[in-house]
C-alpha cells in the first residue's frame, strides 16, 4: 500500500486500486437478536468494480460502512492490500477510501471548490496544490472549473451535484471507493448519463470499487462482478454478470435475474462495439459509446428513429439487431464453454 506519500500521485489519475478482503466479517447491533451481517468472506481483486445487490435490510450498507469504519465490526477482519483496516489511523483511511452516497452530503455553505477540497485540506496539502487538484477533478467529471468552482451546491442540478460527490471522493486519489446507491436519486436520463461517465472514468482510473444498488440492470452494466446478497449479507452468488444471468446459482438468485434474462443480457454489451458510418447529422438522437445495446434500443423506440448517433457516427437499427444476435450467440457459447 503506497500510503507513504499521497502527494506523489495526487496530480495523476493513474493510481490503480488495491485488493480488499473481508474475512468472517460480522456486525451485531446492540439489542438485536440476529446479526445484521454474519460471517461474510469476500475477496475483491485490485481494480475491480464489485456491485452488491440484495433486498432492503439484507445488510449491504452495514457491510460497506464497516470497510471505512463508519460502523465498527463486531468480529472479523478487513484488509486492503493486505493491511488491517481496523489498525489504520483516520487520516490514512480518508486517503485510502473515497465514499459516495445517494444523499451526496455536499456542505451547502461551501463552494464546489471547497467541497471537493475537504480531504486534501484535512491532509494539509498546500493551497496551490489543492486548487490544481480541484480543477483537475472538475475536468475529470465533465464540469468546467471556470463555471462551477465558485458556485454553491444549490446552484447545480442534481446530476451535477452527484458528479461533485464523485469528484470529492476522488480528491485524495484513493485506491478504494465505496459507493452507496450514488445515482439512485436522479431521474432515468441523468442516471444513464452518470453511469456512462462513471464507466469511462473507471476504465481510466481502475480503482477498486464496491458499489451498492437496488437496480439489477445497473449492476449488470457497471459490475465486473456482482455479489448477490441474501439476509445478513450471506453471499448467494459472486460472479460476473454474464455468468449470473446465464447460470443463477439457485432459485433466490434466479428471482433477481427475473424472467427476461435475454433482454438483460443486452446490458452486457455497449453500442460502442458497433462500427457506425461517420457523419451523423446533428439532429439525430444520440447515445454515448458506453450506452448498452438495451439503452440504445430504448432510445430508438422512444424517439421513433431507426438510426442513432454514437460519437458522431450513425448506427442503424439493422446493425443494432445484428449486434444483439451476435452478442447473444457469443455469450451463450462462452457461458456453456466456460463450465
Ligand atoms: N444502527 C442500527 N441499529 C440497529 N439495527 C440496525 C442499525 N442499522 C441497521 N440496522 C439493521 O441491520 C439490518 C441491515 O441494515 P442495512 O442498512 O445494512 O441494510 P441494507 O441492505 O443496506 O438496506 P437498504 O437496501 O434498505 O438500504 C437491518 O435489519 C436494519 O434494520
SS (H, E, C) 166-177: HHHHCCCCCCEE
Label residue 152 by pLDDT band (50, 70, 90): very high
What residue ranges do the domains of the chain occupy? 6-258, 264-337
Instruction: Take atom 2 of ligand 1 and give the residue whose Cα is closest.
Output: 29
- Whether residue 338 is predicted with pLDDT greater than 60 in this model: the reply is no
Is residue 25 over pLDDT 50?
yes
Is there a contact between 227 and 53 (Cβ–Cβ < 8 Å)? yes
Check if 66 has its Cβ closer than 6 Å to any atom of ligand 1: no
Cell numbers for 18: 488495491
- DSSP summary character for residue 222: H
pLDDT in tens, 193-202: 888 888 888 8
Averaged pLDDT for residues 154-179: 89
Q: Give, for ligand 1, the residue of 32, 36, 211, 213 to mutate: max count of ligand atoms closer than 8 Å to Cβ.
A: 36
Distance 214 CA to ligand 1 centre (A): 14
Q: Is 5 in the pocket of ligand 1 (CB under 6 A)?
A: no
Q: What is the pLDDT of residue 265?
A: 72
Compute the average pLDDT of residues 159-171. 88
Which helix (H) or strand (E) segment is 41 a member of? strand 37-44
Q: Higher-confidence residue: 104 or 293?
A: 293
Give per-residue pLDDT as tens, 27-76.
999 998 899 999 999 999 999 999 999 988 999 999 999 999 989 999 99
Nine cell digits for residue 312: 458522431
Average pLDDT for 86-106 = 83
336 has pLDDT over 70: no
Which ranges of the chain would DSSP assign to H, the alpha helix?
A: 60-67, 90-96, 112-116, 118-122, 127-140, 145-148, 158-169, 188-205, 216-222, 241-246, 251-257, 261-265, 293-303, 317-337
pLDDT above 90 for 254: no
Burial 9-25 (b: 16+ CB within 10 A, else e): ebeebebebbbbbbeeb
pLDDT score recorded for residue 259: 62
**Is the C-alpha dihedral spanning 80, 83, 84, 90 positive or negative?**
negative
Question: Ligand 1 centroid to 191 CA: how many Å?
Answer: 25
CB 191 within 8 A of CB 183: yes
CA 198, 204, 207, 209 torsion-angle sign: positive
Q: For residue 4, what pLDDT is reported?
A: 40
Is the per-residue pLDDT at 215 higher than 90?
A: no
Compute the residue count for the chain: 339
Number of neighbouring beta carbons within 10 Å of residue 303:
12
Reported confidence tier of residue 331, pLDDT bands at 50, 70, 90: low
> DSSP letter at 233?
G
pLDDT tops 70 at residue 334? no
* pLDDT of 149 over the 70 cut: yes
Atom number, ligand 1, closest to the C-alpha of residue 58: 21
Per the DSSP assignment, residues forming a β-bridge with 292 are 270
User: Is pLDDT above 60 for 9?
Assistant: no
How much distance in Å is there from the Cα of 186 to the middle of ligand 1?
Answer: 23
Ligand 1 within 6 A of CB of 149: no
Task: Please report the ipTM that was assigned to this predicted complex.
Answer: 0.97
pLDDT at 10: 40
Residue 1 in this model has a pLDDT that exceeds 60:
no
DSSP, residue by residue, 86-150: GGS-HHHHHHHEEEEETT----TTS-HHHHHTHHHHHTT--HHHHHHHHHHHHHHTT--HHHHTT
pLDDT at 175 over 60: yes
* pLDDT > 90? residue 19: yes
Model confidence at 321, in pLDDT bands (50, 70, 90)?
A: confident
What pLDDT shows up at residue 339? 46
Does the CB atom of residue 58 touch ligand 1 within 6 A? yes
Closest-CA residue, ligand 1 atom 25, reads 56
Q: Whole-number mean pLDDT of the chain?
A: 85
**Considering the domain 6-258, what is its CATH architecture?**
3-Layer(aba) Sandwich (3.40)
Cα(65) to ligand 1 centroid in Å equals 11
Percent of the chain past pLDDT 70, that is, above it, reads 90
Atom nearest to 63 CA in ligand 1: 18
Ligand 1 within 6 A of CB of 65: no
End-to-end Cα, the chain, rounded Å: 35
Q: Is the pLDDT of residue 2 over 60?
A: no
Q: What is the pLDDT of residue 15?
A: 52
CATH number at 264-337: 3.90.1280
Nearest-atom number in ligand 1 for the CA of 31 is: 4
Task: Report residue 245's pLDDT band, with 50, 70 and 90 as the boundaries.
Answer: confident
> How many angstroms does the Cα of residue 22 sit away from the middle of ligand 1?
19
Name the DSSP letter for residue 180. Answer: E
Distance from the alpha carbon of residue 62 to the mean position of ligand 1, in angstroms: 6
How many Å apart are CA 264 and CA 285, to the nearest integer? 23
The response to whether residue 56 sits with its C-beta less than 6 Å from ligand 1 reads yes
Q: What percent of the chain has pLDDT over 90?
A: 38
Q: Which three cell numbers stand for residue 173?
A: 486519489
Give 80 Cα–ligand 1 centroid separation in angstroms.
24
**pLDDT value at position 36?**
96
How many A from CA of 199 to the centre of ligand 1? Answer: 28
- Least confident range from 129-133, 158-162, 207-211, 323-327: namely 323-327
Distances (CA, A) of 232 to 52, 97, 101, 338: 13, 24, 21, 31
Amino acid at each position: 500500500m503506497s500510503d507513504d506519500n499521497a502527494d506523489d500521485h495526487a496530480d495523476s489519475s493513474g493510481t490503480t486500486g488495491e485488493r480488499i478482503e473481508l474475512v468472517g466479517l460480522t456486525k451485531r447491533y446492540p439489542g438485536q437478536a440476529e446479526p445484521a451481517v454474519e460471517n461474510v468472506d469476500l475477496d475483491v481483486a485490485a481494480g475491480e468494480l464489485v456491485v452488491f445487490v440484495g433486498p432492503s435490510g439484507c445488510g449491504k450498507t452495514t457491510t460497506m460502512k464497516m470497510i471505512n469504519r463508519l460502523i465498527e465490526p463486531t468480529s472479523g477482519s478487513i484488509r486492503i492490500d493486505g493491511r488491517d483496516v481496523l489498525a489504520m489511523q483516520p487520516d490514512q483511511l480518508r486517503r485510502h477510501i473515497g465514499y459516495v452516497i445517494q444523499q451526496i452530503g455536499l456542505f451547502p455553505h461551501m463552494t464546489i471548490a471547497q467541497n471537493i477540497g475537504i480531504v486534501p485540506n484535512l491532509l494539509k496539502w498546500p493551497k496551490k496544490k489543492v486548487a490544481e487538484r480541484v480543477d483537475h477533478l472538475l475536468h475529470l467529471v465533465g464540469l468546467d472549473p471556470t463555471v462551477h468552482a465558485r458556485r454553491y451546491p444549490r446552484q447545480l442540478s442534481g446530476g451535477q451535484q452527484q458528479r461533485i460527490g464523485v469528484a470529492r471522493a476522488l480528491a485524495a486519489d484513493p485506491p478504494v471507493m465505496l459507493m452507496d446507491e450514488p445515482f439512485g436519486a436522479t431521474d432515468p436520463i441523468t442516471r444513464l448519463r452518470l453511469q456512462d461517465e462513471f464507466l469511462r472514468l473507471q476504465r481510466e482510473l481502475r480503482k477498486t470499487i464496491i458499489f451498492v444498488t437496488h437496480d439489477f440492470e445497473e449492476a449488470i452494466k457497471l459490475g465486473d462482478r456482482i455479489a448477490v446478497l441474501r439476509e445478513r449479507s450471506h453471499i448467494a452468488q459472486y460472479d460476473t454478470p454474464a455468468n449470473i444471468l446465464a447460470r443463477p446459482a439457485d432459485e433466490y438468485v434466479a428471482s433477481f435475474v427475473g424472467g427476461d434474462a435475454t433482454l438483460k443480457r443486452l446490458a452486457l454489451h455497449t453500442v460502442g462495439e458497433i462500427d457506425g458510418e461517420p457523419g451523423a447529422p446533428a439532429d439525430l438522437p444520440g447515445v454515448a459509446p458506453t450506452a448498452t445495446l438495451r439503452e440504445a434500443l430504448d432510445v430508438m423506440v422512444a424517439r421513433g428513429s431507426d438510426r442513432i448517433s454514437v460519437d458522431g457516427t450513425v448506427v442503424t437499427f439493422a446493425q443494432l439487431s445484428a449486434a444483439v444476435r451476435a452478442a447473444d450467440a457469443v455469450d451463450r457459447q462462452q457461458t456453456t464453454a466456460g463450465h
